[in-house]
């Protein structure tokens, strides 16, 4: 789990690089050198100057305890500041905090509300989360039509897990009309991203329904 969160942090750091300002750039360079305390200082300075990218990343560093002590209260504070500016990563990260109960009581309803806000802004990770909540009935009644809609939205933005899941829903006819050709197309996209489940499912699909794989 820690490794996954680190990768998310690393992705978000790089994902916010463009136009984020000199303090963010200095923080990123320090982070890449493994100088986490220095990175935290730069992000903190940028956050205090209302830079949303810095606010998200100082929040992540407080959440993970990189460059200093872990402080979930401060992580939440900075995520909320970024979210108020409409920063989709700050909005999404608040969802993860409520989902996991980090620094706040675990609350799937509030988690879903935050994920929905980020999903509506086109954030693929949030769209995948919303789809999962609807598919499993977490915090809301189970709704396969909504699940399929949000899986497809995330899949069309390149989310590999969503590509696999919407393919599965097309094969089963869950929330969408059965369509093995579309399943093949989405699984091909996932397979190109080295998704093993998609690769295995393609083998089975093309053996049983070769017409769908042309």
Q: What is the pLDDT of residues 50-68, one digit of tens each?
A: 999 999 999 999 999 999 9
Q: What are the Cα distances from residue 12, in Å, to 5, 72, 80, 148, 209?
A: 10, 18, 16, 26, 40
Question: CATH 1.25.40.10 region(s) of the chain?
Answer: 124-214
What per-residue confidence (pLDDT) applies to 13? 47
Whole-number pLDDT of residue 19:
53
Predicted pLDDT of residue 21: 87
| The two structure tokens encoding residue 132 | 């999962």
Predicted local confidence at residue 8, as pLDDT:
45
pLDDT of residue 214: 87
Cα angle, residue 162 at apex, residues 150 and 176 outer, rounded to 5°: 55
Report the CATH fold assignment for 124-214: 1.25.40
Residues of the chain with pLDDT under 50: 1-11, 13-18
Sole residue written with tokens 């190109």: 192
Q: What is the pLDDT of residue 17?
A: 42
CB atoms within 10 A of CB 120: 14
Copy the structure tokens of residue 171.
């094969």
Length of the chain counted residue by residue = 214
CATH code given to domain 1-85: 1.25.40
Q: How many CB atoms lie within 10 A of CB 191?
A: 22
Those residues whose C-beta lies under 8 Å from the C-beta of residue 77, and which sit 6 or more positions away, are 59
pLDDT in tens, 157-196: 999 999 999 999 999 999 999 999 999 999 999 999 999 9
177/194 Cα distance (integer angstroms): 27
Q: What angle do CA 147, 151, 154 make, to 5 degrees?
A: 145
pTM of the predicted structure, to 2 decimals: 0.89
């Amino acid at each position: 789990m820690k490794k996954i969160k680190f990768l998310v942090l690393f992705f978000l750091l790089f994902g916010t690089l463009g136009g984020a300002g000199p303090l963010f750039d200095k923080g990123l360079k320090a982070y890449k050198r493994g100088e986490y305390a220095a990175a935290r200082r730069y992000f903190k300075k940028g956050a205090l100057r209302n830079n949303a990218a810095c606010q998200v990343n100082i929040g992540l560093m407080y959440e993970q305890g990189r460059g200093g002590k872990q402080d979930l209260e401060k992580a939440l504070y900075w995520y909320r500041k970024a979210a108020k500016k409409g920063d989709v990563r700050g909005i999404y990260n608040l969802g993860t905090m409520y989902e996991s109960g980090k620094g706040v009581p675990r609350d799937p309803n509030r988690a879903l509300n935050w994920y929905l806000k980020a999903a509506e802004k086109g954030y693929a990770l949030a769209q995948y989360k919303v789809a999962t909540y609807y598919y499993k009935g977490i915090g809301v009644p189970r709704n396969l039509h909504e699940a399929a809609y949000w899986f497809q939205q995330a899949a069309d933005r390149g989310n590999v897990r969503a590509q696999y899941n919407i393919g599965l829903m097309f094969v089963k006819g869950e929330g969408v009309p059965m369509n093995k050709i579309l399943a093949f197309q989405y699984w091909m996209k996932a397979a190109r991203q080295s998704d093993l489940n998609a690769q295995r499912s393609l083998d089975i699909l093309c053996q049983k329904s070769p017409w769908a794989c042309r």
